[in-house]
Amino acid sequence: MREFSYERIADPAAAAARAAEVEGAKFIAGGTNLLDLMKLEIETPVHLIDVNGSGLDKITETPEGGLRIGALVRNTTLSAHARVRRDYPVLTRALVAGASGQLRNKATTAGNLLQRTRCPYFYDTAQACNKRVPGSGCSALTEGAFSRQLGIIGTSDACIATHPSDMAVGLRTLDAVVETITPTGMTRTIHLEEFHHLPGDTPDQENALMPGEMITAVTLPAPIGGQQVYHKVRDRASYAFALVSVALIRQPDGSGRVALGGVAPKPWRSAAADAELPNGAAAVVAQLLDGARPTEENTFKIALAERTLAALLAED
Amino acid sequence: MEFNQPAGQNLFDQSRIVGKPMPRVEGPLKVSGHAKYAFERHDVVAGQLHGYPVVSTIAQGRITEIDTSAAESAPGFRGVVTALEIGEMPSPFAWNFAPLFGGDRVSHYHQAIAVVVAETFEQARAAAALVRVDYEVEEGNYDLEAAWERAREDRSEPVSRIGDFEGAFAAAEVTLDGEYRTPGHSHAMMEPHATIANWQDGKLTIWTATQMVDWIRQSLARTLEMDPENVRVDSPYIGGGFGAKLYLRADAVLAALAARKLAEPVKVALPRPMIMNNTTHRAATIQRIRIGADREGRITAIAHEAISNTLPSGRGETATAQTRAFYAGANRLIVHHTAVMHLPEANAMRAPGEASGLMALEIAMDEMAEKLEMDPVQFRIINDTQVDPESPDRPFSNRNFVQCLEHGAEVFGWAERNMTPGGRREGMWLIGHGAAGAYRGSPAMASGARIRLQPSGRLIVETDMTDIGTGSYTVIAQTAAEVMGLPVEAVDVVLGDSAFPVSAGSGGQWGGPSATAGVYAACVALRAEIATRLGVENADSLEFVDGHVRGNDLDRLLSEMAAEGEIISEDTITFGDFRRDHIVSTFGAHFVEVAVHALTGEMRVRRMLAVCDSGRILNPVTARSQVIGGMVMGVGAALMEEIAVDTHRGYFPAHDLAGYEVPVHADIPAQEVIFLDTLDPVSTPMKAKGVGELGLCGVAAAVANAAYNATGVRVRNYPMTLEKFIPGLPTA
Ligand SMILES: Cc1cc2nc3c(=O)[nH]c(=O)nc-3n(C[C@H](O)[C@H](O)[C@H](O)COP(=O)(O)OP(=O)(O)OC[C@H]3O[C@@H](n4cnc5c(N)ncnc54)[C@H](O)[C@@H]3O)c2cc1C
Ligand code: SF4
């Protein structure tokens, strides 16, 4: 871990301004991802801006009947919120499938969206990794590499890492919107669909945030009802990242929405695939994973995605 | 005391304490945080500095330069020791196969090449990250499959060859020829390797975490080229080892060298992400098993051939070990290949040999039973042997494998299982049942102890034996209390200090039976001393009960005997050659129920039963905890554990506890353990055998067999992750 300075800033606009002003500054929320990465010198901020006192830890109703989730609402609080459980159960289910109880007590809504990949080569600073050191190469794409956990779609020749969040997959089916404040004090909204970037040639640039821009909230549109489920498939029963996860909202008429986790650099959903829902899991996944480029080790994720969705569709 | 003939009737046959359930005597210390582990021993010496290792980032080659200049100007920096300045060091021990430190050669990824010392842990870590190293990279060999291709037909140096395997196999009415793969495993014990080192007047003390105090003392002395008398090792509490702490490791060498150079105490823990490549792992294996039998199911031919990775001079994983003796059959062939590879060091991990070997053999037995259209439990029973099948005049000392199978089958409800693979479905879940046999040798090692009877009547037991979570403290206290006729509460057990008599240490499941036998020997010596003081010629004519010594018209309080000053006795149990005229082993049978999701292939173990034949069970509480821990590890081996190899770079990339998955609570169902009430008079005076490794043996195969029974998909390649089942699973 490199030396760093630390300050707390309660006002979001001031925090954003400060983050833009100090080169190499970063926000810290729960710290459950950032501190681990700092210990390994994968992240090397010179200055930390602690935003925990900023009052963004409330869940409020929006005029449209949706919810505004403050950036600092803890994953545990969010998953247990009565309205979330009643109106957005896919979110609760996705949240409790992630990490462990202790981590969820600390992890925040914004931090969760911004957590970084779990690619093993990203985690070993001795190995080439375009995401960690742009232009150094991608170790996961060489012959003999261990790539079983990594992505199969939306990836590039520069990076095949996945975004590991469960929460984001649930949010994606709910058409969530990210609200931010910029260093100049402007607010913006970014649809979750546009929030995470595909790697292309710049896998280090993971999202739509500008330098210093701070997430203030995530909003959910008015509830859409339906049966909402989340199934996370992994090698052990708990406390592991997804091989494949499926978030599903199904309406009584058979229409609905599907998003996949564990397969791509962002929660993976498309309108065309949603439209196939009445035709069953094979049709949805064929559409959703069209153009997939798995490695030999993770090609099973295609069949697994289809089977996981089929399993959810078979449940009543 | 030499144990040179089978134990006859003795006081353990009427025991009050040994064999009775008893919670860990050190339990309260552990749960209240008062049992200090190596890294937390802040009080043993003042002014401890922190050392942080620097490790190689290539798998093979030479270090050309280590530049420490940036580190040296980092805040808090106090010193650095590099491999280049130290030069090649003598190998610490015959069973250390990787150099721990010193010289310019890199023989595996994350080999320790420097240690940076600073005032705080954070400063040491930050400074260590500033060390720049240049290498000359060399090609290495990292591909076990390729090695197997070359070795597969080579039988020129078999471990053993009995009768005419090829002829009998060709003539057999029913045959099986299967290939099985087990991946490398990481010990992943809770406590990282850690050492505090301090030098004073040319003498070195280390406070460390080790399974084998005297091995570490000797090894450290050898590699530092000093007299072992000048090395003291102290390791009273160890947070798990599973074999990872059998041998000297880099933490101790780095701490010792840094403390010497700085002339100040230094502590070093191996950071978790370094442990998996820096230390040892269980080697991967590829195993071929051929079995031939007659229609009645009697094995006529059995061959087990295996290959595993090792560094040069290593032994590999002896996965064929159990097959030499587990099942009958006149014609036999055992071949063990080692593939010299430049991966990190392959070495012992819990039940080395048998754990991997049974993962394959016990699937093969299941497959063979199916070919014979026999109950796999029955097939094993038919092929039981009471003598060494390689040399039939050598009997097993005590083998109750058939009872394990029969009793287990009855308790588990084996007869009610569905016998058509894939034939039982509950909703989305396919239900299956599987069984496997367990076999693990039960060696014994010389073990010493010192007993000090205090004027207060309390007893102090001192031995360099270790308790790696196994229950040594407790069974030793029970043994001493039993022999001296005292309550357990009157016994203080002090372990893990090289100032104490050399014990068997903890490994190979020899620790419990050997160390208690050593304590027994020392207590017998104390009884003899007391007899002498009482003027009684035959110590056996005295009875030690309720804190009294009685007999020969005498009745004295033990405390009275020591009123003038403590009485000290010391002895070492040694094991005579007669033991080798037998095979001394432990046996078990595992029964497992699994549910496999019909679509996704996710697997949940629903029920587990182990029946164990391990001689006298010294304490059913601690023994059970060993067995259920082994069963958990077996579930891990079956379902998820794999230290995946990057065959291009020659290392284990997923080298932390997020990447290397072991079971969580949610993976483990109700576990039932039954100990057969057996006694093995050939094993030790207490007729006890090991149990700590038996609990793991065969478990993974039982899960694999249950998964086959559930799905009809036979997977021969561990771990049994879902992608291996998916192609054969139903589509709805
Ligand atoms: C052992 C382990 C297992 C895990 N398993 C799972 C799992 O199964 N599924 C899963 O989804 N997650 C898992 N996680 C990840 C966990 O969900 C994240 O660590 C957590 O959500 C991050 O939230 P945080 O508040 O702690 O973020 P921090 O660590 O504080 O921050 C993360 C990043 O977000 C930035 N940031 C924080 N707040 C803001 C803001 N308001 N605006 C802009 N930037 C901000 C920080 O600068 C940093 O870059 C696991 C984590 C661990 C350690
Ligand atoms: S896949 Fe991405 S994160 Fe992994 S090594 Fe390649 S560039 Fe780095």
CA distance A43 to A51: 18
Among protein residues, the one whose CA lies closest to atom 6 of ligand 2:
A138
Tens-digit pLDDT profile for residues B259-303: 999 999 999 999 999 999 999 999 999 999 999 999 999 999 999
B19 CB within 8 Å of a chain A CB: no
Give the ligand 2 atom nearest the CA of A141. Answer: 6
Tokens of B134: 């240049």
SS3 of B246, please?
Answer: coil
Pocket test residue of A34, A109, A149, A196 for ligand 1, highest count of atoms within 8 A of CB:
A34
Report the first-to-last Cα separation within chain A, whole angstroms. 50
CB atoms near residue A65 (< 10 Å): 11
> Can you give the length of chain B in residues?
732
Alpha helices in B458-557, H assignment, sequence order: 472-484, 511-533
Residue A83: C-alpha distances to residues A55, A220, A229, B621 (Å): 20, 11, 16, 47
Tens-digit pLDDT profile for residues B338-380: 999 999 999 999 999 999 999 999 999 999 999 999 999 999 9
Pocket test residue of A39, A106, A108, A266 for ligand 1, highest count of atoms within 8 A of CB:
A108
User: What is the model's pLDDT at position B307?
Assistant: 98
CA distance B617 to B691: 8
Tens-digit pLDDT profile for residues B438-467: 999 999 999 999 999 999 999 999 999 999
CA distance B505 to B518: 11
The arithmetic mean of pLDDT across residues B134-159, rounded, is 97
DSSP A38-99: HHTTSS--SEEEE-TTSS---EEE-TTS-EEEETT-BHHHHHH-HHHHHH-HHHHHHHHTSS
Q: Is B56 exposed, middle or buried (0-12, 13-18, 19+ CB in 10 A)?
A: buried
Pairing verdict, β B345-346 and B231-234: unpaired
Contacts 24+ apart (CB under 8 A), B371-376: B371/B174, B371/B175, B371/B176, B372/B174, B372/B293, B372/B295, B372/B297, B374/B297, B375/B414, B376/B435, B376/B705
Give the ligand 2 atom nearest the CA of A128. Answer: 5
The arithmetic mean of pLDDT across residues B652-672, rounded, is 96
Q: Which residue has the tokens 């919810």?
A: A67
Give the ligand 1 atom nearest the CA of A29. Answer: 30
pLDDT bin (cut points 50, 70, 90) of residue A315 is confident
A267-281 exposure pattern, b = at least 16 Cβ within 10 A, e = fewer: bbbbeebbebbeeeb
Q: Inter-chain contact A145–B646, Cβ cutoff 8 Å?
A: yes
Q: What is the pTM of this model?
A: 0.98
Q: Which residues of A touch B638 (CB under 8 A)?
A: none
User: What is the model's pLDDT at position B677?
Assistant: 86
Pocket test residue of A7, A36, A103, A109 for ligand 1, highest count of atoms within 8 A of CB:
A103
Whether the CB-CB separation of B615 and B683 falls below 8 Å is answered with yes
Q: Which residues of B touch A139 (CB under 8 A)?
A: 646, 649, 653
SS3 of B358, please?
Answer: helix
> Can you give the length of chain A in residues?
316
CA distance A197 to A183: 21
B657 CB within 8 Å of a chain A CB: no
B503-529 exposure pattern, b = at least 16 Cβ within 10 A, e = fewer: bbbbbbbbbbbbbbbbbbbbbbbbbbb
Ligand nearest the Cα of residue A114 is 1
Give the ligand 1 atom nearest the CA of A165. Answer: 11
User: What is the model's pLDDT at position A316?
Assistant: 65
Whether the CB-CB separation of A57 and A106 falls below 8 Å is answered with no
Q: Which residues of A touch B427 (CB under 8 A)?
A: none
Among protein residues, the one whose CA lies closest to atom 13 of ligand 1:
A99
Q: How far is A41 from chain B (nearest CA, A)?
A: 8
The beta-strand segments (E) located in B94-230 are 105-106, 112-118, 132-137, 160-162, 174-182, 194-200, 203-208
- Closest by CA to A180, choosing from A37, A51, A32, is A51
What's the A175 CA to ligand 1 centre distance in angstroms? 21
User: What is the model's pLDDT at position A2?
Assistant: 93
Among protein residues, the one whose CA lies closest to atom 8 of ligand 2:
A129
Is A183 a pocket residue for ligand 2 (Cβ < 6 Å)?
no
What's the A117 CA to ligand 2 centre distance in angstroms? 9
Whether the CB-CB separation of A10 and A55 falls below 8 Å is answered with yes
What's the A169 CA to ligand 1 centre distance in angstroms? 15
Q: Which residues of A touch B597 (CB under 8 A)?
A: 311
Give the ligand 2 atom nearest the CA of A121. Answer: 5
Q: Domains of chain B, with CATH numbers?
A: 2-20+444-578 (3.30.365.10), 393-442+584-728 (3.30.365.10)
B134 CB within 8 Å of a chain A CB: no
- Closest by CA to B549, choosing from B452, B685, B419, B453, is B453
Is A77 a pocket residue for ligand 2 (Cβ < 6 Å)?
no
Q: Inter-chain contact A144–B655, Cβ cutoff 8 Å?
A: no
Would you tell me which residues 600-619 of chain B have a C-beta closer than 8 angstroms to some C-beta of chain A? 600-602, 604
Whether the CB-CB separation of B465 and B511 falls below 8 Å is answered with yes
Q: Is the pLDDT of residue B334 over 80?
A: yes
B119 CB within 8 Å of a chain A CB: no
Tokens of B231: 């090395």
Tokens of B448: 């010493």
CA distance A227 to A208: 31
CA distance B524 to B485: 12
A222 CB within 8 Å of a chain B CB: no
Q: Which residues of A touch B666 (CB under 8 A)?
A: 236-238
The arithmetic mean of pLDDT across residues B712-716, rounded, is 98
Whether the CB-CB separation of B78 and B118 falls below 8 Å is answered with yes
Tens-digit pLDDT profile for residues B721-731: 999 999 999 99
The arithmetic mean of pLDDT across residues A200-206, rounded, is 98
Return the residue of A nearest to B652 by Cα: A146
Tens-digit pLDDT profile for residues A57-74: 999 999 999 999 999 999
Tokens of B324: 């030499």
CA distance B429 to B425: 6
| Eight-state DSSP code of residue B226 | S
Q: Is B6 exposed, middle or buried (0-12, 13-18, 19+ CB in 10 A)?
A: middle
What's the A139 CA to ligand 2 centre distance in angstroms? 6
A144, A236, A311 member nearest B661 (Cβ): A236
Is A131 a pocket residue for ligand 2 (Cβ < 6 Å)?
yes
CA distance B668 to B675: 20
Amino acid at B171: A
Q: Is B693 a catalytic residue?
A: yes
- Closest by CA to B599, choosing from A157, A303, A22, is A303
Tokens of A241: 């990242």
SS3 of B423, please?
Answer: coil
- Closest by CA to B188, choosing from B274, B85, B275, is B275
Whether the CB-CB separation of A128 and A140 falls below 8 Å is answered with no
Q: Which residue has the tokens 């006694």?
A: B679
Alpha helices in B432-471, H assignment, sequence order: none
Amino acid at B13: D
Return the residue of A nearest to B132 by Cα: A126
Return the residue of B nearest to A304 by Cα: B600
B175 CB within 8 Å of a chain A CB: no
CA distance B653 to B499: 41
Is A115 a pocket residue for ligand 2 (Cβ < 6 Å)?
no
The arithmetic mean of pLDDT across residues B14-23, rounded, is 97
CA distance A171 to A193: 10
SS3 of B352, please?
Answer: coil
B649 CB within 8 Å of a chain A CB: yes
Mean pLDDT for chain A? Answer: 97
CA distance A196 to A261: 13
The arithmetic mean of pLDDT across residues B433-441, rounded, is 98
Whether the CB-CB separation of B195 and B267 falls below 8 Å is answered with yes
CB atoms near residue B259 (< 10 Å): 29
Whether the CB-CB separation of A258 and A286 falls below 8 Å is answered with no
Name which of B723, B729, B731 to mutate to probe chain A: the one with the most chain A Cβ atoms within 10 A of its Cβ.
B723
A283 CB within 8 Å of a chain B CB: no
Ligand nearest the Cα of residue A155 is 2
Tokens of B326: 């587990």
Please report which helix (H) or strand (E) contains residue B549, including its range: strand B548-551
- Closest by CA to B118, choosing from B278, B270, B262, B275, is B262
**Phi, psi (deg, nearest 5) at residue B432:** -145, 160
Tens-digit pLDDT profile for residues B623-643: 999 999 999 999 999 999 999
Whether the CB-CB separation of B729 and B711 falls below 8 Å is answered with yes
- Closest by CA to A282, choosing from A260, A306, A315, A258, is A306
Whether the CB-CB separation of B562 and B451 falls below 8 Å is answered with no
Would you tell me which residues 132-161 of chain A have a C-beta closer than 8 angstroms to some C-beta of chain B? 139, 142-146, 148
Tokens of B199: 């030098």
Q: How far is A187 from chain B (nearest CA, A)?
A: 37
| Eight-state DSSP code of residue B501 | P
Q: Inter-chain contact A311–B75, Cβ cutoff 8 Å?
A: no
SS3 of B611, please?
Answer: strand
CA distance A140 to A161: 8
ipTM of this model?
0.97
Q: Inter-chain contact B599–A310, Cβ cutoff 8 Å?
A: yes
Whether the CB-CB separation of B685 and B10 falls below 8 Å is answered with yes
- Which position among B305, B317, B482, B693 bears the catalytic label? B693
Q: How far is B646 from chain A (nearest CA, A)?
A: 5
A185: region left, alpha or beta (phi > 0 left; psi from -120 to 50 alpha): left
Whether the CB-CB separation of B558 and B570 falls below 8 Å is answered with no
pLDDT bin (cut points 50, 70, 90) of residue A212 is very high
Mean pLDDT for chain B? Answer: 97
Q: Which residues of B touch A145 (CB under 8 A)?
A: 646, 648-649, 653
The number of C-alpha atoms within 13 Å of B219 and in the hemisphere containing its C-beta is 25
